[in-house]
Amino acid sequence: MSGFLNSSIGRKVAMALSAFFLMFFLLQHFAINILSVFSPELFNEVSHFMGTNPLIQFALQPVLIFGVVFHFVMGFVLEIRNRKANGVKYAQNNGAANSTWMSRNMIWSGVAILAFIILHFIDFWFPEINTKFINGDWSGTMEGVEGYRYYEELVHKFVSPIRVGAYVIAFVFLALHLLHGFTSAFQSMGGTAGRKKTLQTIGKAYSILIPLGFIFIALYHFFNH
């Protein structure tokens, strides 16, 4: 495995595979969160299932955490190696002549997304871990709240305009990151031959609609709390 990651092709393939995994998770995450707009009850039911299912909690969740960490670490490794190979700082080369703004600034959009993930963990994941694994409460309920607590917790996070603004900005950066990363992942796997334009169209739709959907969720709860 270490030999595979030491090669340029190996690192790009590993980066692409982790990108595919995270894009699938992002789609699944959006599918659950959008339920909070149309059916709070169903959102609560699905969230409780995801939050208490042993397979998800003890098998898939650790894989997800590893995937996130691996993707960002590998991204920084590739960026550092690219800079060393060029002999100059990435931002100082004349890449504008044959590359897009998104491709030249993936590292910065990645840093912004990483900062958002940390905020998201502080808002939702850390409290959930504390409730279930530290306090031992797997009921999914909250005192004074009828039914499960997940919808109430989500709505509470979108009361602050500062937090909502941070979420909106983060998803704009995510869209920019995906606009290059989606097609780049397929290209690294050799999947663009003869279908690059089709993949670019699908990639643009995914890269714009999914982050826009998350922005809609945040704004909806902010204006309707």
pLDDT score for 107: 80
Look at residue 95 and tell me whether its pLDDT is greater than 50: no
For residue 145, which phi and psi values (nearest 5 degrees)?
-120, 125
DSSP-based helix, strand, coil % in the chain, nearest 5: 80, 5, 15
DSSP 54-87: HHIIIIIHHHHHHHHHHHHHHHHHHHHHHHHHHT
Q: Please state, in angstroms and rounded to a whole number, the distance separating the CA atoms of residues 30 and 97.
A: 36
Task: List the domain boundaries for the chain.
Answer: 2-90+97-224
Look at residue 97 and tell me whether its pLDDT is greater than 50: no
pLDDT class of 94 with cuts at 50, 70, 90: very low
pLDDT score for 91: 43
pLDDT score for 92: 43
User: What percent of the chain stands above pLDDT 90?
Assistant: 59
CB distance 44 to 147 below 8 Å: yes
pLDDT digits (tens, 9 = 90+) for 43-85: 999 999 999 999 999 999 999 999 999 999 888 888 788 777 7
What mean pLDDT, rounded, does the chain reach? 86
Provide the sign of the torsion angle of the four alpha carbons 175, 179, 183, 189, taken in this order. Answer: negative
User: What percent of the chain stands above pLDDT 70?
Assistant: 87
pLDDT score for 194: 63
Look at residue 96 and tell me whether its pLDDT is greater than 70: no
Average pLDDT over residues 16-37: 95
**CATH code of the region 2-90+97-224:** 1.20.1300
* N residues, the chain: 225
Average pLDDT over residues 75-99: 62
pLDDT class of 106 with cuts at 50, 70, 90: confident
